[in-house]
Amino acid sequence: MKNSFKISRIQENDVQRFIELIKLLNQVFEEPNRVAPEKQLKGLLNKPDFHAFVATRGGKVIGGLTAYEMKGYYTELKQFSSRHILTINKLLGFMNLFLENQKRSTTLILR
């Protein structure tokens, strides 16, 4: 399918993909942050309470998100901070703009 993309979790051994995502996040949020050394990124990807997901099309990173699990104070279930909801919304907006600029359209569904 022409407009399809793949979403996958970034694993510890895929640091280069993580770096691509970080650079994209810096671009989307207009932040001049530098990327940490590979050793630190591998350690972060190996932490059970850290999650990084990436959306790719044709091998190119077109979106993604990172999230930290936090212990909640209303429930025993783990929670994610509201900042990540803003991140998702902004990235989805960016992905839609990207697709519009490419004269493509798609429907994004989150569950």
Looking at the predicted structure, is the pLDDT value of residue 1 above 60?
no
Residue ranges of domains in the chain: 6-101
- The residue-averaged pLDDT of 75-80 equals 67
Nearest one of 33, 66, 36 to 50, comparing CA atoms = 66
Taking only the tens place, the pLDDT of each residue in 53-70 is 888 888 888 888 887 777
Amino acid letter, residue 42: K
Q: Phi/psi zone of residue 109: left (φ > 0), alpha (ψ -120 to 50 degrees), beta?
A: beta
The predicted model scores a pTM of 0.66
Q: Which fold has domain 6-101?
A: Aminopeptidase (3.40.630)
* Residue with the larger pLDDT of the pair 41 and 102: 41
pLDDT digits (tens, 9 = 90+) for 20-60: 999 988 888 788 888 999 999 999 999 988 888 888 888 88
Give the pLDDT confidence score for residue 94 in this predicted structure: 62
